[in-house]
């Protein structure tokens, strides 16, 4: 009997080992939004909110959905009062509402938005009075009481260095200072530290930028951050906040050169940069996603310089400055410009653009660290 049990255990071991390594699992597709790239998305604490993005060669959509983690089910978002179809919009979660603002419809920049209540499945407009000029490829952060919009493109060539703060309680906008020594830009990143917004990188007239600055909404003042040790010029990079430092990695350099496979961490307390190790780092890429959870940065997907989608990732540990392998068993197909969120114990990705012509994706996956 003991020999039989031992033989059974030996036969079962490879199966259990494979299950241990398979940290990816597909989420339900039933009732999911139509396949699309560049969806506007945010985690609400219980749901993945997905809305708009490009889902056909003709442009953007105004449909969306809510995926509930606990039940692994989708429900469609209402079309009544929803903003017009668009891409490159910004989104924040206030704790009770999703705020979508700006973007473009394929012909012009947009300067409107709406608030979505996932409990009642209703949209309400964002006041246009005092709103920033229309823009896309801008950034927005939630401070705990206001949404701060900054930068972006006003048309195919125009960029802006202006912004404004929106209070959803009073439905009012207030301008923010643009005395910041920052070049007008689009395609940059912005993170919220708990007290300040930090802007970095981006492009202006096809020139990638190296400079960044932090904005204090209470004092309405900007402070230029250290650029002598900053990462090289880039746009299309990914950025995250680990609780004390800003993570910058990958991206596209000036003049369309090879994509970037390096990055740095910025500490606002000391105004200093530290280099992220290249040992074990993932393949160079742009338009990848990063989510921060468990004190780690999870990088996935993205594309090469020629637009080839990537389906692998890696996990960076800022405390030890080391990269770890992201298991590939059951992983999603290669993609970029997809949605990615941290749920509190999982990374969830959905949609994006895959390899091939007009290959919009409409599937999603969970990764268990």
Q: What is the pLDDT of residue 208?
A: 65
Query: Residue 254 above 90 pLDDT?
Result: no
Q: Per-residue pLDDT tens for 335-369?
A: 999 999 999 999 999 999 999 999 999 999 999 99
Q: What is the pLDDT of residue 307?
A: 92
25-287 belongs to CATH 3.40.640.10: no
**Percent of the chain scored above 70 by pLDDT?**
93
Q: What is the pLDDT of residue 328?
A: 87
Q: Per-residue pLDDT tens for 207-220?
A: 667 789 999 999 99
Q: Per-residue pLDDT tens for 163-187?
A: 999 999 999 999 999 988 788 999 9
* Secondary structure, 3-state, the chain: CHHHHHHHHHHHHHHHHHHHHCCEEECCCCCCCCCCECCEEEECCCEEEEECCEEECCEECCCEEEEECCCCEEEECCCCCCCCCCECCEEEECCCCEEEECCECCCCEECCEEEEECCCCEEEECCCCCCCCCEECCEEEECCCCEEEECCECCCCCEECCEEEEECCCCEEEECCCCCCCCCEECCEEEECCCCEEEECCEECCEEECCEEEEECCCCEEEECCCCCCCCCEECCEEEECCCCEEEECCECHHHCCCCCCEEEEECCCCEEEECCCCCCCCCCECCEEEEECCEEEEECCECCCCCECCCEEEEECCCCEEEECCCCCCCCCCECCEEEECCCCEEEEEEECCCCCCEEEEEEEECC
Q: What is the pLDDT of residue 112?
A: 98
* pTM of the complete model: 0.92
């Amino acid at each position: 009997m003991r020999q039989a049990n031992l033989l059974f255990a030996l036969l079962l071991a490879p199966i259990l080992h494979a299950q241990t390594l398979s940290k990816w699992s597909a989420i339900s597709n039933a009732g999911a939004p139509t396949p699309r790239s560049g969806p506007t998305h945010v985690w609400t604490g219980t749901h993945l909110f997905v809305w708009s993005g490009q889902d056909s060669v003709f442009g953007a959509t105004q449909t969306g959905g809510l995926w509930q983690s606990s039940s692994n089910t989708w429900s469609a978002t209402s079309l009544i009062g929803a903003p017009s179809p668009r891409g490159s919009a910004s989104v924040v979660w206030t704790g009770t509402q999703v705020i979508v603002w700006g973007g473009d419809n394929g012909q012009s920049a947009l300067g409107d938005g709406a608030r979505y209540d996932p409990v009642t499945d209703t949209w309400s407009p964002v006041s246009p009075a005092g709103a920033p000029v229309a823009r896309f490829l801008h950034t927005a952060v939630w401070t705990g009481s206001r949404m701060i919009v900054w930068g972006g493109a006003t048309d195919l060539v125009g960029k802006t260095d202006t912004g404004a703060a929106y209070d959803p309680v009073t439905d009012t906008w207030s301008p923010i200072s643009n005395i910041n020594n920052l070049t007008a830009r689009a395609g940059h990143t912005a993170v919220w530290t708990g007290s300040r917004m930090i802007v970095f990188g981006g492009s202006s007239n096809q020139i990638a930028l190296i400079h960044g600055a932090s904005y204090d909404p209470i004092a309405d003042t900007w402070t230029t951050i250290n650029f002598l040790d900053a990462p090289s010029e880039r746009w299309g990079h990914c950025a995250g906040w680990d609780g004390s430092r800003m993570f910058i990695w990958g991206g596209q350099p000036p003049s369309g050169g090879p994509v970037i496979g390096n990055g740095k961490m910025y500490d606002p307390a000391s105004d200093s940069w530290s280099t992220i190790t290249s040992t074990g780092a993932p393949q160079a890429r742009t338009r990848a996603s990063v989510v921060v959870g468990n004190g780690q940065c999870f990088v996935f997907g993205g594309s090469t310089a020629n637009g080839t989608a990537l389906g692998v990732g890696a996990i960076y540990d800022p405390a030890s400055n080391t990269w770890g392998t992201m298991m590939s068993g059951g992983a999603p197909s290669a993609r970029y410009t997809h949605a990615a969120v941290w749920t509190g114990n999982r990374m969830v990705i959905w949609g994006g653009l895959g390899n091939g012509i007009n290959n919009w994706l409409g599937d999603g996956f969970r990764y268990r660290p």
